[in-house]
C-alpha cells in the first residue's frame, strides 16, 4: 500500500477559470495500492476539482494541448509526463496558453 500524499496544485494563465477562479489547491490524495502517477492525478482532478467544461482541460487521458504542465517547476515533458510518479509535497502547475489578454 502506498500512503496518502499531500501535493500542491496550481492553475494559472486562465486555467483557474475552470476551477471557480481558485489558483491554489492543497490536496491530499488517498492511499492506494499503486503509487499515484500523473495520469491518475488528471482523473482525480476531473472528479474532485474541475467545476466546468472538462473538455477545456482534458483531452483523452492527457491535458488538452495548449495547457502547459510543470512538475516541481520543470516542464513535464522532461519528467515522463503521464507516467511521472507523484511524491509527497510535489508541486504541480497547470498553465493555459489558450487565453488571451
Partner 1 sequence: MPIQCSSCAKNRAVLRRPKTGHSLCKHCFFWAFEEEIHQTIVSARLFNRGETVGIGASGGKDSTVLAYVLKVLNERYDYGLKLLLLSVDEGITGYRNDSLETVRRNQQQYDLPLTIVSYEELYGWTMDAIVKQVGLRNNCTFCGVFRRQALDRGAMMLNVDKICTGHNADDVAETVIMNVLRGDIARLHRCTVISTASDGEGAIPRCKPLKYAYEKEIVLYAYFKKLDYFSTECVYSPNAYRGHARTFIKDLEAVRPSAIMDIIHSGENLSVKEGVKMPVQGTCSRCGYISSQSLCKSCVLLEGLNRGLPKLGIGKHHRLHDKILAQQALTEKEQNKLKAIEF
Burial class (CB in 10 A: 0-12, 13-18, 19+), 56: middle
- Taking the least distance from each CB to partner 1, the nearer of 1 and 65 is 65
List residues bridging with 19 in a β-sheet.
none
- Taking the least distance from each CB to partner 1, the nearer of 34 and 101 is 101
The Cα–Cα gap between 93 and 72 comes to 8
Min dist. Cβ of residue 76 to partner 1 (A): 9
For 60, the 3-state DSSP assignment is coil
- Taking the least distance from each CB to partner 1, the nearer of 34 and 73 is 73
Min dist. Cβ of residue 81 to partner 1 (A): 11
The Cα–Cα gap between 101 and 91 comes to 26
The site for partner 1 (CB under 8 A) is made up of: 12-14, 17, 64-66, 68, 70, 73-75, 77-78, 93, 95-101
What are the φ/ψ torsions at residue 42 (nearest 5 degrees)? -60, -40
- Taking the least distance from each CB to partner 1, the nearer of 25 and 81 is 81
Min dist. Cβ of residue 30 to partner 1 (A): 27
Amino acid at each position: 500500500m502506498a500512503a496518502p500524499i499531500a501535493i500542491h496544485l496550481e492553475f494559472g494563465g486562465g486555467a483557474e477559470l475552470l476551477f471557480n477562479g481558485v489558483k491554489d489547491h492543497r490536496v491530499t490524495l488517498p492511499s492506494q495500492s499503486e503509487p499515484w502517477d500523473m495520469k491518475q492525478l488528471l482523473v482525480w482532478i476531473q472528479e474532485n476539482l474541475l467545476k466546468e467544461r472538462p473538455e477545456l482541460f482534458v483531452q483523452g487521458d492527457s491535458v488538452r494541448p495548449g495547457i502547459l504542465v510543470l512538475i516541481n517547476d520543470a516542464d513535464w515533458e522532461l519528467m515522463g509526463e503521464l507516467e511521472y510518479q507523484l511524491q509527497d509535497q510535489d508541486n504541480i502547475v497547470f498553465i493555459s496558453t489558450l487565453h488571451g489578454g
